[in-house]
């Protein structure tokens, strides 16, 4: 089966129609074998549709920044780049599109998956419910895509960003500079070892957890070959450890937003059960963001209130 999976990286890149690809697959491999970890999936994920999505190249998504919508659309039109309006400020483009020479990335638009943009709906609803002088900690900020999205929701937010390596924060700072974000507090911390943080408490904490990334494998189908199932347990344990070190920094009345780009139940619903059983937080909402039928990533988001 693993030898057959090697073909997917070619199949989802080439120009065959989905029907033609399925004919090729059916001759050597059952569709359900493309993603063999069916029993590990989060609730509500259609296994067959998810498997088929690996034969379709995902789209490239842009989030248009406020006031730049018209400019970006005109630039893409003038350059002859095809796109579809997915939402008011979200565009879908063919993945091979070369846009960095056309659009000023981070200043005018952010490359951000559709499902990742949708997590903003959950974050925004919580931030808008908080009082003035909102303090937000993006505790695993990565390259800063969600932090820029948070800033765009309300530039007056007191934003703190952190990650484990200096190189990650350095890249974030460059993106923030291009995005025009000057007021923020960056720092490096190892959240596994309870490293001290600069602000003891926050009104909102965004935890985009390190995970298997299984919801993004449509972009890197070789992961179907290299992935070891034991990684699910390893990441779930890591997620719970970081949760335990982060939640104590949430102010009473605040919001905790948990995000993964995983489709595995142990990294999603089971971590939610861990939070409910071990902390005085109320689960407000959770959802699997099914990107597999939108040529996008699949993600998971949950919101807790204190």
**Measured between alpha carbons, how far is 259 from 119 in angstroms, rounded to an integer?**
8
DSSP-assigned beta bridge partners for residue 270: none
Query: Is the model's pLDDT at 64 over the cut of 90?
Result: yes
| Cβ–Cβ under 8 Å, residues 272 and 209 | no
pLDDT at 173: 98
pLDDT confidence bin for 130, thresholds 50/70/90: confident
Name residues whose C-beta falls within 8 Å of residue 295's C-beta, 6 or more positions apart in sequence. Answer: 53, 56, 57, 58, 59, 92
Class for the domain spanning 114-305 = alpha beta
> What pLDDT score was predicted for residue 97?
84
Contact 299, 291 (CB under 8 A): yes
Exposed/middle/buried for 193, CB within 10 Å: 0-12, 13-18, 19+?
A: exposed
Residue 37, number of CB atoms within 10 A of its CB: 15
Q: Specify whether the CB–CB gap between 181 and 207 falls below 8 A.
A: no
Per-residue pLDDT, 101: 93
Q: What is the pLDDT of residue 31?
A: 86
Q: Once rounded to an integer, what is the mean pLDDT over residues 86-109?
A: 94
Band the pLDDT of 211: cuts 50, 70, 90. very high
Q: pTM for the whole thing?
A: 0.91
Check whether 21 has a pLDDT greater than 60: no
Alpha carbon dihedral 58, 43, 289, 274, in 10-degree steps, equals: -120
Domain boundaries, the chain: 114-305
If you search the block for the tokens 């120009």, which residue do you land on? 15
Q: What pLDDT, in 10s, does the model give residues 223-253?
A: 999 999 999 999 999 999 999 999 999 999 9
CA distances from 51 to 44, 163, 304 (A): 14, 33, 31
Say what angle helices 145-153 and 114-127 make with each other, to 10 degrees.
40
Work out the burial of residue 114: count CB atoms within 10 Å of its CB; fewer than 13 is exposed, 13-18 middle, 19 or more buried.
buried
Question: Which tens digit of pLDDT belongs to each residue from 263-297?
Answer: 999 999 999 999 999 998 999 999 999 999 999 99
Span 74-93, pLDDT tens digits: 999 999 999 999 998 999 99
């Amino acid at each position: 089966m693993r030898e057959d999976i090697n073909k997917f990286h070619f199949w989802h890149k080439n120009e065959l129609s989905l029907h033609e690809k399925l004919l090729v697959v059916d001759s050597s491999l059952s569709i359900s074998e493309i993603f063999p970890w069916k029993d590990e999936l989060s609730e509500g994920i259609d296994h067959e549709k998810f498997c088929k999505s690996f034969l379709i190249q995902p789209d490239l998504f842009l989030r248009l920044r406020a006031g730049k919508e018209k400019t970006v659309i005109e630039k893409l039109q003038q350059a002859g780049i095809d796109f579809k309006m997915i939402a008011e400020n979200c565009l879908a483009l063919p993945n091979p599109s070369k846009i960095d020479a056309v659009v000023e990335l981070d200043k005018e638009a952010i490359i951000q998956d559709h499902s990742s943009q949708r997590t903003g709906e959950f974050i925004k609803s919580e931030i808008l419910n908080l009082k003035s002088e909102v303090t937000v900690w993006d505790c695993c900020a990565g390259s800063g895509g969600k932090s820029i999205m948070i800033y765009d929701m309300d530039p007056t937010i007191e934003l703190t960003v952190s990650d484990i390596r200096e190189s990650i924060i350095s890249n974030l700072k460059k993106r923030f500079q291009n995005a025009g974000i000057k007021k923020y507090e960056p720092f490096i911390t190892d959240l596994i070892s309870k490293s001290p943080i600069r602000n003891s408490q926050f009104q909102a904490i965004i935890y985009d957890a390190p995970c298997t990334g299984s919801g993004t494998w449509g972009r890197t189908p070789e992961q179907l070959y290299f992935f070891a199932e034991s990684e699910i347990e390893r990441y779930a344990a890591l997620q719970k450890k970081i949760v335990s070190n982060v939640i104590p920094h949430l102010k009473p009345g605040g919001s905790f937003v948990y995000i993964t780009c995983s489709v595995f139940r142990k990294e999603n619903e089971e971590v939610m059960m861990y939070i409910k059983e071990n902390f005085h937080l109320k689960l407000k909402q959770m959802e699997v963001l099914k990107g597999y039928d939108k040529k996008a990533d699949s993600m998971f988001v949950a919101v807790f209130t204190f």
